[in-house]
Amino acid sequence: MIPELGHFAIALACVIAAAQAVLSIWGAHRGDARLIAAAPALALGQFIAVGLSFLALVWSGVVSDFSVMNVAEYSSALTPLLYKITGTWGNHEGSILLWCLILSLCGATIAVFGRGLPSALRARVIGVLGAVSCGFLLFTLTASDPFNRIWPPPPDGQGVNPLLQDPGLAFHPPILYAGYVGFSIAFAFAVASLIEGRVDAAWGRWVRPWTLAAWCFLTCGIALGSWWSYYELGWGGYWFWDPVENASLLPWLTGTALLHSAIVVEKREALKIWSVLLAIITFSLSLSGTFLVRSGLLNSVHAFANDPTRGIFILALLGIVIGGSLLLFALRAPVLVPAGIFAPISREGALVLNNILLCAIAAVVLVGTMYPPFVQLLFGQQISVGKPFFDSTVIPLAAPVMAAMGLGPVLSWKRAALAPALIRLWWAALAALVVGLIAAHGLGAIPALGFGFALWMVLSAAAELVERGRLFRVPLSVSWARLRQLPRASYGAAIGHAGLGVTVAGMVGMSLAVHSIQLVKPGQTVALGGYRWMLVSLHDQPGPNWMGRVATLQVNDAASGRLVAIMHPGKRSFPLQQTTTTDVSIKTNGLRDLYVAMGDERGGGVVLRLHVNPLAPWIWFGALIMAIGGWLSLSDRRLRIGAPLRRVATARRGPVVPAE
Amino acid sequence: MNRRRLLLGLPLGVVAVAATGWGVMLARMREGEFDPHTLPSPLIGRHVPDFSLPGLGGGSFASGITGTELQKPGRPMLVNFFASWCVPCVEEAPVLAQLAHQGLPLWGITYKDAPDATAAYLASHGNPYARIAVDRPGRVAIDWGVYGVPETYLIDAAGIVRWRFAGALTNTVIDRDLVPLLRTAS
């Protein structure tokens, strides 16, 4: 009964979404106040309907209703409760429903928090979101119904994919999807403004917080996914340039570009057409990322049912959404009048450079990801594009981004001079140079460059705050007052930039990692990376729905002989799914990770893969700092307060500090 | 103004081309004519390319391997690309040992590996190879179209490459693919 209600709720949501699309956009076009006023209610109604169907699916999972095919295939009686719930979205059908849920949530947030928007614009934005929602709910109903029944129901389900039975991955999809789908709001604003034919400073101000929120989620989602592949897959790496990883990186790159170009729209009313295009591209990449990886076209480690028939439906849907919005762009963008002239060396100029470089990186990653299937289609040749290509193309483009990132925030709007800006950052540049030179001495050119840039990003972000507060130039109490007056967005930006520096330092550290694969018998010792690794014993360890085999290792410092860590890498075999997962053991002290993965056992010994990964935790820690910077910036009162109220608020606060 | 309109229509054009490509791929995938997941080898049905590699040295591995030897071996044999740094190679070592024990000639080519490391690897994991050549720069592997290590090639008596397997050999793969081929090849 409950699954049928869930199925009905999807159908209901689909109809509401259709009404939401047609009535809101038509009403805004005709200027019909009643239809415009109906838009938020419809968006909320759609959210409630999708929410109910999602709850119905979770319910079916929790009570282990194996007559629902989705539950029978991806859950079992023995699965722990947490994974019965998270298993809901650990499969194709459920994850699409989660996707639709978040999309309808976006509509509902605009309905609730968008009170400051002009009502016609709000209706159009809600209408566009409704149109997208309607398409994907229709897809759910016709091609990927999560409530399909099987009769007779099997006595037990097949269980969750063991790789996904992990807390890190359980919450990875919702966070990642919140990022992907969150960009739908920026997209809806872009399309709505194209319909209206008007983009102004207010547009930039409205789009920024939504983009920023989506960006924070996406940053966390990507970091969580990469962290999962680091500790769960047991390959010792954190990023494999896999198509699915690239699919999440692409909207992040263009979304970051959008975040910065929207600043220019808000402050200077320039880059309007470009920002609208970026908003459309970012959401288009999110859509393609979520759906094309499921069509079976790209080779990937990520397991989802591949079905070309489903793929054609998806492609048609993407064609309508992406093609339709770009057609609208081609027709309506000429109406938007460019404004706001600026010199190449200015804050705007730096942000344009940021946009060009980020989009260039995105283009390179896109080409690298799409090249193999297209070459096979056109020339019948199988090729693989991997790490060497991406390393040699992305790093040269990323280096100028990092260099310019420190400089941009201290340049003034409209027209700036390079020399005074550089003088303000002299100590950051000097420190980065010194660290770079020291690193070059011991580590080689590329890591030295990386560490130098990483420090530059952190210190230049700090230097910007020092500059804003006139620290060390005016009495400390005055500085303190100035710093307290600074908008939170300034702190957010500085923290975000510093976070990227931390992540880059972690990546450079990881490039210096050492590893070794050894067949070790209990009692034997292996030397690696300044440590002595001794295999103490091997033993069995049973779990709730798996059988485990665990090794105990003792790691001592090679020089002093001091005990550093006791480690327990293991393997788990899941009899129900007939698969084995590796249970990597990681010991970190914040500066380096000791990492052991266990392989096959042979002749009384076991194959161990030992890694010493310098600065590895910094990669994810930096991503967290970036997201914290984003949230801090979001909490800035400027963004919380609607546009008409804003001028009053600034006037009351007084012009103490130039806004960023 | 016209040029501006063209420029603004450019994204639509790019997406249209990409979407057409995807559409053709998906349609042909459904017909079973297009499979992006296979790893076809350009060598299948042909002789191996000409090459000459030095031997690993030490004991019976003094002599290297040349292309001409493999272009007419006189009996079916396997060539296995491997390296001491590769985990799946360790995994497939027992399977290779068993094949060699059953009397199938097996020659090895080390890929981007130092001879010392190879020797240590053979000492700890056993040596199923009758001959071992060293491809330190990995050039010969490129000519063969090697995708990664380990990779195994079946060459028939006339020197034609019959089969290529990328990844660690397992008993399942051998029973399913190799055994039937060996029956026809000999």
In a domain, A459, yes or no: yes
Q: Compare CB distances from A297 to B5, B36, B40 and report the shortest one's residue.
A: B36
Contact (Cβ atoms closer than 8 angstroms) between residue A131 and residue A656:
no
pLDDT, tens digit, 9 for 90 and up, residues B122-160: 888 888 998 899 998 888 888 888 878 889 999 988 888
* Residue-level pLDDT at A638: 64
Mean pLDDT of chain A: 87
User: Where does the pLDDT of residue B37 fall: very low under 50, low under 70, confident under 90, or very high at 90 and above?
Assistant: low
User: Where does the pLDDT of residue A578 fall: very low under 50, low under 70, confident under 90, or very high at 90 and above?
Assistant: low
The amino acid sitting at A442 is G
Pairwise pLDDT comparison (A92 vs B153), residue with the higher score: B153
> B4: nearest CA in chain A?
A334
pLDDT, tens digit, 9 for 90 and up, residues A551-576: 999 999 999 989 999 999 998 887 76
* Residue-level pLDDT at A257: 96
Q: Compare CB distances from A374 to B21, B27, B85 and report the shortest one's residue.
A: B21
The CA distance from B25 to the nearest CA of chain A, in Å, is: 7
Distance CA(B77)–CA(A60), nearest Å, equals 55
pTM of the predicted protein model: 0.84
Q: What ipTM does this complex have? A: 0.82
A-proximal residues of B, 156-185, CB under 8 Å: none
pLDDT, tens digit, 9 for 90 and up, residues A311-351: 778 888 999 999 999 999 999 988 887 777 788 888 889 99
Distance CA(A337)–CA(A200), nearest Å, equals 10
> A277: nearest CA in chain B?
B11
Does residue A354 carry a pLDDT above 70? yes
Pairwise pLDDT comparison (A21 vs B45), residue with the higher score: A21
Please judge whether B15 and A376 are an interchain contact, meaning their C-beta atoms are less than 8 angstroms apart: no
Does residue A70 carry a pLDDT above 50? yes
Does residue A650 carry a pLDDT above 50? no
Averaged pLDDT for residues A68-78: 85
Cβ neighbours of A582 in B, within 8 Å: none
pLDDT, tens digit, 9 for 90 and up, residues A198-223: 888 889 889 999 999 999 999 999 99
Lowest mean pLDDT across A178-182, A295-299, A539-543: A295-299
User: Where does the pLDDT of residue A251 fall: very low under 50, low under 70, confident under 90, or very high at 90 and above?
Assistant: very high
Strand, coil or helix: what is A385?
Answer: coil
* Residue-level pLDDT at A307: 64
∠A489-A247-A108 over CA atoms, to 5°?
55
> Based on the number of CB atoms within 10 Å of its own CB, is A89 exposed (0-12), middle (13-18) or buried (19 or more)?
buried
* Residue-level pLDDT at A314: 84
Q: List, in order, residues 6 or more apart from B162 with CB less than 8 Å away.
A: B44, B45, B76, B154, B155, B156, B181, B185
Task: Name beta bridge partners: A583.
Answer: A570
Q: List, in order, residues 6 or more apart from A272 with CB less than 8 Å away.
A: A199, A200, A203, A265, A336, A338, A339
Does residue A645 carry a pLDDT above 50? no
Domain housing A128: 1-160
Lowest mean pLDDT across A270-279, A475-484, B27-36: B27-36
Report the residue count for chain A. 660
Does residue A651 carry a pLDDT above 50? no
- The residue of A326, A327, A606, A608 whose CB has the most chain B CBs within 10 angstroms, and thus the best one to mutate to test that interface, is A326
Of the CA atoms within 13 Å of residue B183, those in its CB half-sphere come to 6
Element (H, E) at A252: helix A243-268
Q: Compare CB distances from B90 to A322, A377, A607 and report the shortest one's residue.
A: A607
Lowest mean pLDDT across A49-63, A485-499, A575-589: A575-589
Strands A525-528 and A547-557: unpaired
* Residue-level pLDDT at A77: 84
- B12 and chain A in contact, CB less than 8 A: yes
* Residue-level pLDDT at A305: 47
Strands B106-111 and B77-82: parallel
Strand, coil or helix: what is A153?
Answer: coil
Give the total number of structural domains in chain A.
2
The CA distance from A216 to the nearest CA of chain B, in Å, is: 27
Q: How many other β-carbons are positioned within 10 Å of the β-carbon of residue A81?
A: 9
Q: Compare CB distances from B29 to A273, A296, A382 and report the shortest one's residue.
A: A296
- B32 and chain A in contact, CB less than 8 A: no
pLDDT, tens digit, 9 for 90 and up, residues B47-69: 888 888 888 877 667 788 888 88
Please give the radius of gyration of chain B, using alpha carbons only, rounded to the nearest integer.
Answer: 22
Helix (H), strand (E), coil (C) string for A17-78: HHHHHHHHHHHHHHCCHHHHHHHHHHHHHHHHHHHHHHHHHHHHHHCCCCCEHHHHHHCCCC
Q: Delimit the CATH 3.40.30.10 region(s) of chain B.
A: 52-185
User: What sign results for the dihedral spanned by CA atoms A45, A49, A55, A59?
Assistant: positive
What would the two tokens of residue B3 be?
A: 């040029």
* Residue-level pLDDT at A430: 93
Q: Compare CB distances from B22 to A315, A329, A607 and report the shortest one's residue.
A: A315
* Residue-level pLDDT at A653: 39
Q: Compare CB distances from A599 to B5, B11, B87 and report the shortest one's residue.
A: B87
The domain made up of B52-185 is a member of CATH 3.40.50.2000? no
User: What sign results for the dihedral spanned by CA atoms A414, A415, A419, A423?
Assistant: negative
Does residue A17 carry a pLDDT above 70? yes
Please choose, from the candidates B63, B81, B66, the residue with its C-alpha nearest in 3D space to the C-alpha of residue B159: B66
Please judge whether A327 and B24 are an interchain contact, meaning their C-beta atoms are less than 8 angstroms apart: no
Averaged pLDDT for residues A442-447: 87
Looking at A160, A189, A217, which one is the last position of a domain?
A160
Contact (Cβ atoms closer than 8 angstroms) between residue A224 and residue A172:
yes
* Residue-level pLDDT at B36: 66
Q: How many other β-carbons are positioned within 10 Å of the β-carbon of residue A552?
A: 17
Distance CA(A154)–CA(A132), nearest Å, equals 36
What would the two tokens of residue A165 be?
A: 């039975």
- The residue to which tokens 């978040």 are assigned: A102
Strand, coil or helix: what is A467?
Answer: helix
Q: Compare CB distances from A308 to B8, B29, B38 and report the shortest one's residue.
A: B29
In a domain, A134, yes or no: yes
Please judge whether A295 and B21 are an interchain contact, meaning their C-beta atoms are less than 8 angstroms apart: no
- B2 and chain A in contact, CB less than 8 A: no
What would the two tokens of residue A399 be?
A: 């280096």
- B142 and chain A in contact, CB less than 8 A: no
* Residue-level pLDDT at A509: 93
Please judge whether B30 and A298 are an interchain contact, meaning their C-beta atoms are less than 8 angstroms apart: no
Looking at A160, A189, A207, which one is the last position of a domain?
A160
Averaged pLDDT for residues A429-444: 90
Distances (CA, A) of A108 to A27, A129, A392: 18, 10, 43
Averaged pLDDT for residues A528-544: 89
Element (H, E) at B110: strand B106-111
Does residue A648 carry a pLDDT above 80? no
Distance CA(A507)–CA(A501), nearest Å, equals 10
Distance CA(A95)–CA(A99), nearest Å, equals 6
Distance CA(A311)–CA(B30), nearest Å, equals 10
Q: List, in order, residues 6 or more apart from A292 with CB less than 8 Å away.
A: A247, A298, A311, A314, A318, B22
In a domain, A405, yes or no: no
User: Where does the pLDDT of residue A168 fall: very low under 50, low under 70, confident under 90, or very high at 90 and above?
Assistant: confident
* Residue-level pLDDT at A654: 38
What would the two tokens of residue A635 be?
A: 């909490």
Please judge whether A297 and B25 are an interchain contact, meaning their C-beta atoms are less than 8 angstroms apart: yes
Alpha-helix runs per DSSP H in A380-487:
387-407, 418-424, 426-443, 445-468, 476-485
* Residue-level pLDDT at A285: 95
Q: List, in order, residues 6 or more apart from B65 with CB less than 8 Å away.
A: B52, B53, B55, B107, B109, B131, B133
* Residue-level pLDDT at A494: 94
Pairwise pLDDT comparison (B129 vs A546), residue with the higher score: B129
Distance CA(B108)–CA(B106), nearest Å, equals 7
* Residue-level pLDDT at A99: 94
Does residue B21 carry a pLDDT above 60? yes
Cβ neighbours of B19 in A, within 8 Å: 315, 318-319, 322-323
User: Where does the pLDDT of residue A73 fall: very low under 50, low under 70, confident under 90, or very high at 90 and above?
Assistant: confident
- The residue to which tokens 């890694």 are assigned: A611
Please judge whether B30 and A296 are an interchain contact, meaning their C-beta atoms are less than 8 angstroms apart: no
Please choose, from the candidates A608, A585, A583, the residue with its C-alpha nearest in 3D space to the C-alpha of residue A521: A608
Averaged pLDDT for residues A23-34: 94
Lowest mean pLDDT across A342-351, A374-383, A399-408, A427-436: A374-383
Strand, coil or helix: what is A420?
Answer: helix
In a domain, A370, yes or no: no
Please judge whether A607 and B87 are an interchain contact, meaning their C-beta atoms are less than 8 angstroms apart: yes
Q: How many other β-carbons are positioned within 10 Å of the β-carbon of residue A523?
A: 10
Looking at A110, A138, A160, which one is the last position of a domain?
A160
Please judge whether A297 and B16 are an interchain contact, meaning their C-beta atoms are less than 8 angstroms apart: no
